[in-house]
Amino acid sequence: MRTLIRPTGFVDSPFGHDGKVARLAGGLNWFSAVELLGIDGNRRVGSELLPVQGLEDRFDDDLAAQWRHLTAVRPPLQLGERTIRLDQPQVIGIINATPDSFSDGGQFADPASAASAGADMTRDGAAIIDVGGESTRPGAKPVWEGDEIERIVPVIRQLAAGGAAVSADTRKADVMTAALAAGARMINDVSALTYDDRSFEVLAAQPVPVILMHHLGAPETMQDNPRYDDVLVEVYQWLEERIDAAVDAGIARERILIDPGFGFGKTVAHNLELMNGLALFHSLGCPIVVGASRKRTIGALSGEAPADRRLGGSIAFTFKAAEQGAQLLRVHDVFETVQALRIWRGLRDQGLTPRL
């Protein structure tokens, strides 16, 4: 048996509530209550809703560590010369240099057009551009490393030369090495370093951030009737194990980000449950990345709308994630998402303006 802490009871302003609210991960969200989740194995067996005031008096060592993680400031990411602050939500723009990605596969005929689209995303407000050369959509087949390198390296090189902060979306050590040599300064691994054991060695030697994403099974089969005893608990514990594995391999915890992996081996219900419980993941102590843009869940809830008509649902997920303190939103529609987050930021700034 163990207990996990999920922040809840979010408030607009901390003013006048000394000792009654806590700041979530050094960001713009404050919470007044927590749900203590009793965990037995892979599932919740109990729940207790408690106010923040006086809560620390009840903590054992595990809960005290979770609380420190929940309330600690997330230091900025350093991607080469670019500093990405994590005290407010930031946008990662998606560039898929692939023929078969679910939303924009085949959109870019050559590296120059992909790099141009990435530069446009930077101008529209994306803090980071994530370049991928292998589709990991449901049913996708693996791509040979050489092909993947040929697809992404010219794009990364052009974007980095133009001053963009670039991430490489790959699960292969050789591709990581080539991408970093070309100017990428972050790795986004949808396998959380489970696909290629040599990835640990590459990232232990390179002082760059890495995103560890939860998945269930390989892309070819991950949507074939995925099952969990309790998806929120299982994803949490799986990510906890992957963080420990990365740290044990020599990757500094300060360089690790986590992604619950919306759509990667999850049903619509699983995805919605993860989004509703997203704030729980802050107690792992790592910045949270959310990639729900244009995902199948949006289509399922909106009359089977195709991928290019899921902007509204993507923005709804963006707001929900921001409300729970997610630091990075990985999206296709950068301009619209940045605009939505500026409205969200305006609302937060007004709420955090002293009234007296």
Percentage of the chain lying above the pLDDT 70 cut: 97
Please give the structure tokens belonging to residue 310.
């899921």
pLDDT at 104: 56
Inter-residue contact 95 to 121 (CB < 8 Å): yes
Distance (Å, whole) CA 338 – CA 334: 6
pLDDT band at 103, cuts 50/70/90?
Answer: low
Digit-coded pLDDT (tens) for 4-63: 999 999 999 999 899 999 999 999 999 999 999 999 999 999 999 999 999 998 899 999
| Helix/strand/coil for 86 | coil
Q: Annotated catalytic, 330?
A: yes
Helices 145-161 & 111-123, crossing angle to 10 degrees?
A: 50
Rounded mean pLDDT of 300-309? 95
Residue 354's pLDDT band, with cuts at 50, 70 and 90, is: confident
Which residues are within 8 A (CB) of 271 and not within 5 positions of it... i.e. 6 or more apart?
Answer: 262, 263, 292, 295, 297
Angle at Cα 236 formed by Cα 72 and Cα 71, nearest 5°?
10
What does the radius of gyration of the chain's CA atoms come to, in whole angstroms? Answer: 20
One of 295, 296, 310, 348 is an active-site residue; which one? 295
Q: Where are the domains of the chain?
A: 2-71, 77-351
| Mean pLDDT calculated for residue range 237-266 | 97
What confidence tier does 234 reach under pLDDT thresholds 50, 70, 90?
Answer: very high
Nearest partner of 198 among 217, 171, 223, judged by Cα: 171
For residue 106, the model assigns a pLDDT of: 55
Label residue 108 by pLDDT band (50, 70, 90). Answer: confident
Task: Say how far apart CA 17 and CA 32 lie, in whole Å.
Answer: 9
Which residues, 6+ apart, have CB-to-CB distance to 142 below 8 Å?
134
The answer to whether residues 179 and 156 touch, using CB atoms and an 8 Å cutoff, is yes
Q: Outline where 107-172 has alpha helix (H).
A: 111-123, 145-161
- 194: phi then psi, degrees, rounded to nearest 5: -100, -15
Which CATH architecture describes the domain 77-351?
Answer: Alpha-Beta Barrel (3.20)
Pick the catalytic residue from 137, 171, 172, 330: 330
Answer for the pair 292, 262: CB distance below 8 angstroms, yes or no.
yes
Residue 161: the pLDDT is 96
Give the global pTM. 0.95
- Sign of the Cα torsion 327, 295, 332, 349 reads negative
- Burial of 48 (C-beta count, 10 Å sphere; 0-12/13-18/19+): exposed
Please state the rounded mean pLDDT for residues 329-344.
Answer: 98
Q: Tell me what pLDDT residue 315 has.
A: 97
Q: What pLDDT was estimated at residue 140?
A: 73
- At residue 138, the 3 state secondary structure works out as coil
Mean pLDDT of the residues in the chain: 94
% of the chain surpassing 90 pLDDT: 87
348 is catalytic: no
Q: What is the pLDDT of residues 115-124, one digit of tens each?
A: 999 999 999 9
Identify the band that residue 356 occupies on the pLDDT scale cut at 50, 70 and 90. low
